[in-house]
Amino acid sequence: DGGITQSPKYLFRKEGQNVTLSCEQNLNHDAMYWYRQDPGQGLRLIYYSQIVNDFQKGDIAEGYSVSREKKESFPLTVTSAQKNPTAFYLCASSILPSTVLSGELFFGEGSRLTVL
């Protein structure tokens, strides 16, 4: 089955530690995205990548880093510089960059990060 796989589903981390969230897709989509969800807020875009070896900052990129070395993989690192890292993180992909023409974003099941 084609889809997006995020891991781990739940993660706990101590303050001051970096943590990397995995996102893999086998949909052959060019574009991939990382969103953050907090209670009472919409999904906010952290980073996105329209093509391999290229990525751009979204609205809330500070304290995060990404890489896109392979088409199917777009890992997100939450660094110790991120002030409020506890959140639900969602990875998504779309067939084409600038997603309006392709319409739909496909989401993974999410990773819940809790900083202790």
The 3-class secondary structure across the chain, one letter per residue, is CCCEEEECCEEEECCCCCEEEEEEECCCCCEEEEEEECCCCCCEEEEEEEECCEEEECCCCCCEEECCCECCECCEEECCCCCCCCEEEEEEEECCCCCCCCCCCEECCCEEEEEC
Minimum distance between the CB of residue 79 and other proteins, rounded to whole angstroms? 22
Region of 11-19, 43-51, 64-72, 77-85 interacting with other proteins (CB under 8 A): 43-51
Nearer to other proteins, 16 or 40 (CB): 40
Binding site for other proteins (CB under 8 A): 4, 6, 9, 33, 35, 40-45, 48, 58, 90, 92, 98-101, 103-110, 112
